[in-house]
Amino acid sequence: MKQVGIDLELDEITAQGVYSNLAIISHSASEFVIDFAAMLPGVPKAKVKSRVILTPEHAKRLLMSLQDNITRYESNMGQIKFRQPDMPNGGYNKIGEA
């Protein structure tokens, strides 16, 4: 895949990022929607912190980029292991949900 240099502008507030430990993914014929939420102990509802809407092509590019980065991370840091968080259903039932 050809690498393209892009000049990005990142303001201070955006650079701080948003914490998320839950992602809910849905899609239609024309777009993928990823809601990033934070589920905290003692709080009954997970609050959506950010929503990203992607075309199917860009969703697949994101998938490929994440896979590449995880592979490189694991080659340097060791295998990422899943743990069972203190959430119903292990907290993993929403990741990748269509």
pLDDT tens across 41-96, in order?
999 999 999 999 999 999 999 999 999 999 999 999 999 998 876 555 444 445 54
Structural domain contains residue 49: yes
Structural domain contains residue 74: yes
Q: How many domains does the chain have?
A: 1
pLDDT digits (tens, 9 = 90+) for 16-56: 999 999 999 999 999 999 999 999 999 999 999 999 999 99
Structural domain contains residue 55: yes
End-to-end Cα distance, the chain = 27
- Report the 10 Å Cβ neighbour count for 22: 20
Structural domain contains residue 40: yes
Whether the Cβ atoms of residue 32 and residue 25 lie closer than 8 Å to each other: yes
Q: What is the extent of the structural domain holding 27?
A: 19-80
Structural domain contains residue 14: no
Whether the Cβ atoms of residue 32 and residue 59 lie closer than 8 Å to each other: yes
Predicted TM-score (pTM) of the model is 0.74
